[in-house]
A = this chain, B = another copy of it.
Amino acid sequence: MPNIDPTQDRPDPEPKTLVEGAYQQLRRDIIAGVLAPGQKLRVEHLKDRYNVGAGTLREALLLLVTDTLVVTQGQRGFNVAPISIEDFKDITQTRVLLETEALRQSISLGGEDWEAAVVAAFHRLSRAEQRLNKEEDMLSDEWEMRNRIFHEALIAASPSRTLRHFQQILYQQAERYRRLSLFKQPISRDVHAEHQALFDAALSRDASLAASILRDHILRTLNAIEHMPADFFTGAPAHLDSGQLVT
């Protein structure tokens, strides 16, 4: 069987239970914008879409509440977390604080295993970015996954489980905003060059330089969104307006 390594392109663990499976699907759909910000999440409608029971879907929803991707208040059901420019600013700045610190630790403590994992992740990301310029766009799931794995690999040698955990939460929050922004206005950045510089600095063990590059890299998306038209957060993504999930 040619089943090399199914985990290479999947940062999420294989779901061991229906709740986990629904949780992961739901999370993907929220981050991808299939479920629009602020949208009401009715259990009765969603349970059919994800092929699970009502109770099971409820548990998955509850799990997303602590990830701050879903909000709930009392007995008024669930909604996709709303978005705002202030919220994204907060997420981005906090992410800079945590991710640069984790990167510094990782660079100073990482061994050969860490280096190898970073090299591999960067290689896979580069390949995806080559394809990107030709046919696909930045909404590609493949690119996003490899980008995510690259960022995680960079800080993987940080001994702080807490930092790595918070980084994951903030990354997926930021990813939601990044995707939303692409619907309105394509970006004009040489993302690959940024990744290349980050990679070089990390491998040469220049912690300060790497942290600086990472900071700029993260902040660049914030700048792009801050200069968008004022109605950015009011209107929904055009091609999703008639999505079959919107009830």
Contacts and interface: CB of A to CB of B under 8 A. Distances in A.
Contact of A90 (B58, B62, B160): B160
Nearest to A19: B62
A183 to B, nearest CB: 24
A195 B87 CA distance: 32
Contact of A59 (B62, B67, B73, B159): B62
A94 B163 contact: yes
A187 interface: no
Interface string A43-75: 000000000000100110011011110000111
Contacts of A93: 160
A70 to B, nearest CB: 12
Interface residues of A, number: 32
A117 B157 CA distance: 41
Nearest to A16: B74
Contact of A162 (B65, B74, B91, B165): B91
A91 to B, nearest CB: 6
A192 interface: no
A118 to B, nearest CB: 22
Given A67-B66, A97-B97, A16 B75 contact: yes
Interface of A: 16-17, 19, 55, 58-59, 62-63, 65-68, 73-75, 86-87, 90-91, 93-94, 97-98, 101, 159-163, 165-166, 170
6 contacts: A19-B62, A62-B62, A66-B66, A94-B162, A98-B98, A166-B166
Given A19-B62, A86-B159, A98-B98, 13 more contacts: A58-B59, A59-B59, A62-B62, A62-B63, A66-B67, A87-B161, A90-B159, A90-B162, A90-B163, A93-B160, A94-B163, A97-B97, A97-B98
